[in-house]
Amino acid sequence: MASDQPTGTSVDTRPRIHLEGVAKSFNGRTVVDVEQLTLGDHPIEGLIGPNGAGKTTLMRLIMHSASLDRGTVTFYPNGPDSEPVTLSETPPHRMAHLGVVKSNQVIMDFDKLTVLDSLLLAAASTDHERGYRLFNEDEVYGGARNEIDWYLDRFDFEDPLGHARSAGEKKLLDIIRCLLLRPRLLLLDEPTAGLPDEIRDRLTEVLKEKCEQTGMSVIVVEHDLSVIWTLSHFVHFMAEGSVILQGDPEWIRQHDTVIEKYLGSEHVGD
Ligand SMILES: Nc1ncnc2c1ncn2[C@@H]1O[C@H](COP(=O)(O)OP(=O)(O)O)[C@@H](O)[C@H]1O
Ligand SMILES: [Mg+2]
């Protein structure tokens, strides 16, 4: 859907994802049914809706980690006029090369890798041009160390040279790994769930900063709506498998349908 909110000169080269006639059923029950949807017209977009609305499934269909029953998912790497790539024909492991990354997508074993090693590994895997020629570790890791140290400083991991200590640290590590992959379009599925408030706020700031610095776009599913209202430039509201409203966060927040199906009137002034 075209946006009426200009976001600056970069708007036409932002990556977009377009879904056309996309449906998915589990056990004969339709859980996603989206006729037309464009994600990425704005730097940060929220995808909200009640539990079971189909948000996670929609993200999995985009990442091709769940198969479509029908429809197509197309990626426009450099804006709506760029050469499209059919994501539903792209194996999940190729997604990061296209710049499409989702949190939880990176396979890792936090119990075997230290926080630092896990981040170094993510940084090394971005080095597409050199492929897997890891002859000189310093060369590969050297550039990444500053960036990694920046994240480690920012988030105060309890023991960066040891293992992630809490569920929150593991979650954060997953997101930082995604950021180190230098995504063009990052999908986050409930990134702040389980994080202490202070870390949640820091993560929100970091996401905003990274979007501004790198031109990365973010699509974020989140139940903590304070995150959505703080971060998003645009919000898609999903219920019963379909995106039924799209618009400015303030408009979505006060919309009768959103209040009735999701927020309840007591959340309107939060
Ligand atoms: N792998 C699966 N097998 C069966 N049902 C599923 C599966 N994944 C999701 N569902 C169902 O699909 C519906 C949508 O789920 P989900 O996409 O996780 O919603 P949301 O993320 O919006 O809470 C839910 O009713 C859920 O139980
Ligand atoms: Mg979900």
| pLDDT tens, residue by residue, 78-107 | 999 999 999 988 887 788 889 999 987 455
Angle between helices 197-214 and 137-155 (to 10 degrees): 130
pLDDT score for 130? 47
For the stretch 14-41, pLDDT in tens is 999 999 999 999 999 999 999 999 999 9
H/E element, 45 = strand 44-48
Q: Please choose, from the candidates 257, 260, 197, 261, the residue with its C-alpha nearest in 3D space to the C-alpha of residue 226.
A: 197
Note whether 76 and 159 are same-domain residues: no
The boundaries of the domain holding residue 142 are 109-180
Q: Please give the pLDDT value at position 129.
A: 47
Q: Would the pTM of this model clear 0.75, i.e. be above it?
A: yes
Kindly state the helix (H) or strand (E) to which residue 167 belongs, with its residue range: helix 167-180
Q: Do 100 and 17 share a structural domain?
A: yes
Q: Same domain, yes or no, for 114 and 89?
A: no
Same domain, 125 and 55: no
Sites in the chain below the pLDDT cut of 70: 1-11, 105-110, 126-142, 265-270
Assigned domain for 60 exists: yes
CATH of the domain at 96: 3.40.50.300
CB atoms within 10 A of CB 201: 15
| Atom number, ligand 1, closest to the C-alpha of residue 51 | 23
- Indicate if ligand 1 lies below 6 Å from the C-beta of 43: no
Nearby residues of 18 by Cβ (< 8 Å), 6 or more positions away = 36, 37, 38, 39, 73, 74, 75, 76, 84
For residue 4, being part of any structural domain is answered with no
Pocket residue to mutate for ligand 1, from 33, 57, 187, most atoms within 8 A of Cβ: 57
- Same-domain status, 122 and 137: yes
238 and 257 fall within a common domain = yes
Residues 130 and 176 occupy one common structural domain = yes
Ligand 2 centroid to 103 CA: how many Å?
12
* Domain count of the fold of the chain: 2
Does 232 fall in a domain?
A: yes
Strands 100-102 and 85-86: unpaired
